[in-house]
Amino acid sequence: MIEKEGANVRQHNLIRSVAYDLLKSNSSVWEEAERQAADLWLNDYEPKADASNLEKVRGHLEAFEHYFVVKDWNKANELLSIQLETGKSLYMQLSTWSYFQELISLHSRSLLLAREFGDRFGEAVNLGSLGNAHHNLGNYQLAIDCHQKHLKIVQELNNLQSEASALGNLGNGYKVLGQYEQALNCYQQSLEIAQETGNRRREAYNLGNLGNIHYDLGQYEQALNCYQLCLSISQEISDRRSEGMALSQSGNVYIELGNYKRARRCHQEHLTISQEVGDRLGEGVALGNLGITYERQGKYTQAAEYAQQHINIAREIKDKRGEGSGLRELGVALLKQLSTSDANKVLEYFQSALSIFQKIGIRREEAETLKNLAELYKALNQIETARRYAYSALNLAEELKLFLQTECKLLIAELNNDDKL
C-alpha cells in the first residue's frame, strides 16, 4: 500500500487508485496490508528537519487512519494516548499546537469505533475531547451537546473523576454563551468532586473558572482570590499551562484595578510560559492582553503592534475567537488616537470582530464590540447611530448581567448631553 523512498514513506498513486480495490476484495490480505502500512508510518516515516508541527506527527496520524479503516479500536485508541518524543500524548500535543480540526477528525472516528464495540467509557472520553475541540473552534453549542452526553454516560458509570471533568467543560460552554447561573452550578459541582477525590489539578481549574465568573460580573477582588488560589496549586503541582492561565487571569484583574505594572508582569510571564510549552493559543492571548495593558496606559502604538501579533497567531491556528478579539483590540487602539484617515479601518475592524462574535455565539464579546462601535460613531459625531449601538450593547449587557452595563449607561448619558448641545 505504501512505498519507502529513503527515509520517507509515500503512498503509491497506482496502488491507491487501482490495487487498493483489489486488496479489499480479500479481507484478510487487505487488513494485513493496512496494518503493515500503519507499522511503516510509525517506524519508518521521518519528517524533514524544518517540518511543520503537524508534519512531525504525520506518521501517527496516518497510522491512526489505517487502524481506523480496519476497525482496530485498541490500536487506534493506543495511538491517541501513546507518549510522543515531546513527552505528551498525540491528543495533548495536537491540542497544545491548536490543531483542533485534526482533533475533531480523530475523535469523531474514535467515537464511532467506541460505539460499535460497546465501549461506553471510550465513548464518553471521545465525546469530552470532541467537545473541547469544538469549543476551541468556537462551535459552542456543539461543544455543550458533546459535554452533556459525556456527563450522562460517566454518571451512569459512576466515574467521579470523569464527571468532574465533564461538569467543568460543560460550565465553560455555558459561561462563554453568557449563561452564568448554569456555568456557576457546573463549576461548583466539579470543584466539590475534585476536593472530595483529591484531584488538585481539577481543583485549580475550577478555581480559575469560578474566578472567570466573578471577573465577568465585575467582582474583581473575588476573582483575584480565586486566581491566586489557582496559581498556588498550579505551581505546587508543576502544571505550567495552568500556571500561565492563572497569571493571565490575574493580569486581567490588575488591568481593571489600574495596576498596570503588575498586569504587564503577569501577562509577560504568561507569554514566556506559553512559548516555553508551545501553547500557541496561550501565546496569542498573552500578546493580546499585553496590548490591552498598553492601550489602558495610553501607549497606543505598542498596543496596536501587540494586537496585530495576536491576530496573526489567531489566523494561523484558526482561532476565530482570538481573531475577533485581536481585531477589536486593534480597533480600540486606533480609536483612541483616531484620525480621519483611520476611521474606515477602525469601522472595518469592529464590524469584522462583531461578525465573528455573532457567528460563533460569544455574546460577552459581542456586547463589548457594540459599545466600541457606539464610541466610534460618537467620535465621528454621528450621535443617533452611536446611540443605537450603545442601547444594543446595554440591552445585551443587562441580559447577561455584565458589569459592562454601567459603562454603557454612562456612554448613553454622554450621547444625550452631546445631542442637547
pLDDT of residue 216: 86
Determine, yes or no, domain membership for 403: yes
- Average pLDDT of 159-175? 95
Q: How confident is the model at residue 306 (pLDDT cuts 50, 70, 90)?
A: very high
How confident is the model over 80-94, as pLDDT tens digits? Answer: 788 887 778 888 888
Q: What are phi and psi of 5, to 5 degrees?
A: -120, 100
- Average pLDDT of 333-350? 90
pLDDT of residue 313: 95
How confident is the model over 169-184, as pLDDT tens digits? Answer: 999 999 988 899 999 9
Determine, yes or no, domain membership for 417: yes
Determine, yes or no, domain membership for 200: no
Determine, yes or no, domain membership for 421: yes
Domain range enclosing 411? 362-421
Please give the mean pLDDT across all residues of the chain: 89
pLDDT of residue 4: 44
Give dist(CA 322, CA 301) in Å, integer: 20
pLDDT of residue 392: 97
- Average pLDDT of 286-297? 97
| Domains of the chain: total | 1
Length of the chain: 421
Q: Is residue 50's pLDDT more than 90?
A: no
pLDDT of residue 421: 56
Determine, yes or no, domain membership for 117: no
- Average pLDDT of 99-116? 89
**For the CA atoms of 285, 290, 296, 297, what is the dihedral angle to 10 degrees?**
180
Determine, yes or no, domain membership for 415: yes
pLDDT cut 90: percent of the chain above it: 61
Closest listed residue to residue 39, CA positions, set 13, 16, 59, 23: 59
Determine, yes or no, domain membership for 384: yes
Give dist(CA 221, CA 215) in Å, integer: 9
Give dist(CA 164, CA 187) in Å, integer: 9
| First-to-final CA distance of the chain | 79
Determine, yes or no, domain membership for 282: no
